[in-house]
A and B are shown apart, each in its own frame.
Chain A
């Protein structure tokens, strides 16, 4: 299957700082990338969808100025959590999808802890 990498796999940062998470599709071109957040023992929650070269589409309730998404190429998307607070601590997972077939392949996730 297709491979999606995510970096870093875990990060600890201080409240008020910003953190950037990278998501790369290693062996296919991802026309669409998705960013999810998952709190312990809860379902995946879609944060935003981004198409290469376009602005991301954010889900209701997700602050676009706080969670900056850039999808500059067909293999790379980044999520920047700006001015992070402890309540932003979560497991952030990206997934990537080619134009066809439609399977989404997930990165391994990034565990963010804000102290």
Chain B
């Protein structure tokens, strides 16, 4: 079967760095996505990785290792507004997104 695993909840301090991990087992692989979802709102696109390595975009970076079925989202200089759920999703061989359950990130002052 297809499976995406990510921690249910994480807590971090304002100004710090946090890494949210995602492991996956899917039928084929056409890329991995990270989305941010604030409570009561729709998800917003953060990043897309299809090749191994690190993609940096401002305070957010995303890493992929296809051989390990592993990705992480790294958030630096945390701000209170970064409190949200972070969704990992993998595009399978049929170009369908398989969603993780999301990681709720709580930022404390």
User: Which A residues form the contact surface with B (CB < 8 A)?
Assistant: 1, 6, 34, 43-44, 46, 49, 91, 93, 101-109
Size category of the B interface is 20 to 34
Contact between chains at B42 and A49 (CB < 8 Å):
no
List the B side residues contacting A34 at CB < 8 Å: 97
CB proximity of B83 to chain A, nearest CB, Å: 15
CB within 8 Å of A: which of B84-107?
87, 91, 95-97, 99-102
Question: CA separation between A24 and B33, bound complex, in Å?
Answer: 22
Contact between chains at B41 and A109 (CB < 8 Å):
yes
Question: CA separation between A25 and B49, bound complex, in Å?
Answer: 23
User: Which B residues form the contact surface with A (CB < 8 A)?
Assistant: 30-31, 33, 35, 40-45, 48, 87, 91, 95-97, 99-102
Question: CA separation between A102 and B91, bound complex, in Å?
Answer: 9
List the A side residues contacting B101 at CB < 8 Å: 43
Contact of B45 among A1, A6, A93, A109 (CB under 8 A): A1
Given A43-B101, A49-B96, A103:B45 Cβ within 8 A: yes
Other contacts beyond A34-B97, A44-B99: 6, CB < 8 A: A43-B100, A44-B87, A106-B43, A106-B44, A108-B41, A108-B42
Q: List 30 A-B contacts (CB under 8 A).
A: A1-B45, A6-B42, A43-B87, A43-B99, A43-B100, A43-B101, A43-B102, A44-B43, A44-B99, A46-B97, A46-B99, A49-B96, A91-B40, A93-B42, A93-B43, A101-B48, A102-B30, A102-B48, A102-B91, A102-B95, A103-B33, A103-B45, A103-B48, A104-B97, A106-B45, A107-B42, A108-B41, A108-B42, A109-B41, A109-B42
Question: CA separation between A91 and B40, bound complex, in Å?
Answer: 8
List the A side residues contacting B48 at CB < 8 Å: 101-103
Given A44-B87, A44-B99, A102:B45 Cβ within 8 A: no
